[in-house]
Amino acid sequence: MKSLMPQIDSNDGLFHNGNPATGEQGTRVTDTWLNNLQDRVRDVQAEAHYVLQKAGFTPKAETQTQLYQAIVKIIDDNRKTASLTQKGETKLYTGYDSQSEDLALTPKTAYQLKQLIDSNTRSLGNFIPNSKKSSAVNSNSADTVATSAAVKTAYDKGVEAKNAADNAQRSANDGINRANNAQSSANKANNNANGRVSKSGDTMTGHLIIKDGDYSSVRTYNNDGESVRWESTPANNNDIFAKIVLAGKNEQVISSISLPKKSGTAALLEDVNKVKNDVYNKSRFSHRYYANHYEGAEVYDMPIGDREVMRVIIMGATIDGYAKVSLPERFSGTCRVMVMDVGSGRHVVGANIQDYNKVEVHNIGRTGLNIMAIGYYSW
């Protein structure tokens, strides 16, 4: 582009109108100035045409925005993205968490970074230097702090101590359990021993029960090896329920006594013979006959004690209707009477004893009767 066009050749380099009233002349336009103007205008047009050419535009007389469009296009065509190796445009970014190398920080990001730096700077005031850290677990220092390694060591030792304490507790519990079990076994053994009969002799406070089949027995021996045994018999033995057996050394039976399945009192033979020959006892059985008492009467006394007997009275009598019949002897305690019609009529007769020696008979018509009274008498 050419240099600036010279100003008009006037005293102040400006154009002036003339003033006919004063005779002042206007500024004279010379051919030199007009040629300079034409030359500068064309120079500017040539510059504009060059811009259009560089943008690939063809000048159009009817379009007045080509120069602007060409400049915008040239700028767009020559726009470059800034990088570490070339200049260019870069995108603004307000964050500080990107590792991109083609973004530019904004003042806002710079402010946020300053805030973060200031915060970290303040935090550094609480920073513990390595010289003040200790992994020892046996230090008494009040100027150092424990590291994670020291805490873990202390924790491991605490766990180890707890495990040892737990194991000791379990061992103690096991010992207590074993002691309790031993005590329980001892108590059971003692109870078992207390519940047994000693072979050398003992006193039993309960029943001795022996169940060894149909012939269960209890045996006693003398010094010669002979035995006496009490022996049960099978239930289907209808005659005896037990035996007392004297056996020799080889278990051969020397003698035996069978106990019959009867109720009663066992007695020695000599005692039985003594009773048979006892005149006193024989004389206590008595019989008396009363021939003139009504139609005859008999009294039987059977001793049941030294001064008491069971008395039976049998007699006959004929009555007409209701009557009271006297007995030949009296009772002194409980007694009962039975009266029967001996005739062919078979009258229904009722009777009871009054005052221990009278029979009250309820009868219809004349009837022959058999009277039997049984009761207690003592003196």
77, 109, 144 - which closes a domain: 77
Instruction: Judge whether residue 353 has pLDDT over 80.
Output: yes
pLDDT in tens, 76-124: 988 888 888 888 888 888 877 788 877 887 888 888 888 888 888 887 7
Instruction: Judge whether residue 294 has pLDDT over 90.
Output: yes
Cβ 325 vs Cβ 358: under 8 Å: yes
In a domain, 168, yes or no: no
Q: Please tell me whether residues 334 and 360 are part of one structural domain.
A: yes
The boundaries of the domain holding residue 222 are: 217-264
In a domain, 208, yes or no: no
Q: Please tell me whether residues 326 and 259 are part of one structural domain.
A: no
Query: Which has the higher per-residue pLDDT, 137 or 60?
Result: 60
In a domain, 188, yes or no: no
Cβ 44 vs Cβ 65: under 8 Å: no
List the single range of 21-35, 63-77, 132-146 with lowest mean pLDDT: 132-146
Q: Provide the pLDDT for residue 281.
A: 58
In a domain, 372, yes or no: yes
Q: Provide the pLDDT for residue 189.
A: 80
Query: Which has the higher per-residue pLDDT, 350 or 347?
Result: 350
Separation between Cα atoms, residue 379 and residue 368, nearest integer Å: 33
Q: Please tell me whether residues 289 and 355 are part of one structural domain.
A: yes
Local confidence band at 355 (pLDDT 50, 70, 90 cut-offs): very high
22, 57, 77 - which closes a domain: 77
Q: Please tell me whether residues 252 and 339 are part of one structural domain.
A: no
In a domain, 121, yes or no: no
Q: Please tell me whether residues 232 and 302 are part of one structural domain.
A: no
Q: What average pLDDT score do residues 121-145 get?
A: 80
User: At 269, which amino acid appears?
Assistant: L
Cβ 314 vs Cβ 372: under 8 Å: yes
Separation between Cα atoms, residue 262 and residue 266, nearest integer Å: 10
Q: What average pLDDT score do residues 161-179 get?
A: 89
CA distances from 167 to 152, 154, 174, 181 (A): 22, 20, 10, 20
Local confidence band at 374 (pLDDT 50, 70, 90 cut-offs): very high
Q: Provide the pLDDT for residue 333.
A: 95
* CB environment 33-50: b (16+ within 10 A), e (fewer): beebeeebeeeeeeeebe
0.85 exceeded by pTM: no
In a domain, 283, yes or no: yes
Q: Please tell me whether residues 327 and 286 are part of one structural domain.
A: yes
Percent pLDDT > 90 in the chain is: 44
CB atoms within 10 A of CB 134: 16
pLDDT in tens, 210-262: 888 988 989 899 998 899 998 999 999 988 999 899 999 888 999 989 999 88
**In sequence order, which residues have a C-beta less than 8 Å from that of residue 355 and are 6 or more positions away?**
330
**In sequence order, which residues have a C-beta less than 8 Å from that of residue 284 and are 6 or more positions away?**
301, 303, 309
Q: Please tell me whether residues 288 and 244 are part of one structural domain.
A: no
By three-state DSSP, how is residue 336 classified? strand
207, 237, 264 - which closes a domain: 264
Q: Please tell me whether residues 295 and 374 are part of one structural domain.
A: yes
Q: Could you give the number of structural domains in the chain?
A: 3
Phi then psi dihedrals of residue 193, to 5 deg: -65, -40
Q: Provide the pLDDT for residue 376.
A: 97
Local confidence band at 282 (pLDDT 50, 70, 90 cut-offs): low
Q: Please tell me whether residues 252 and 312 are part of one structural domain.
A: no
In a domain, 59, yes or no: yes
Q: Please tell me whether residues 288 and 225 are part of one structural domain.
A: no
Query: Which domain CATH number covers 322?
Result: 2.60.40
Separation between Cα atoms, residue 378 and residue 306, nearest integer Å: 9
Q: Please tell me whether residues 283 and 374 are part of one structural domain.
A: yes
In a domain, 61, yes or no: yes
Q: Please tell me whether residues 356 and 299 are part of one structural domain.
A: yes
Q: Provide the pLDDT for residue 283.
A: 64
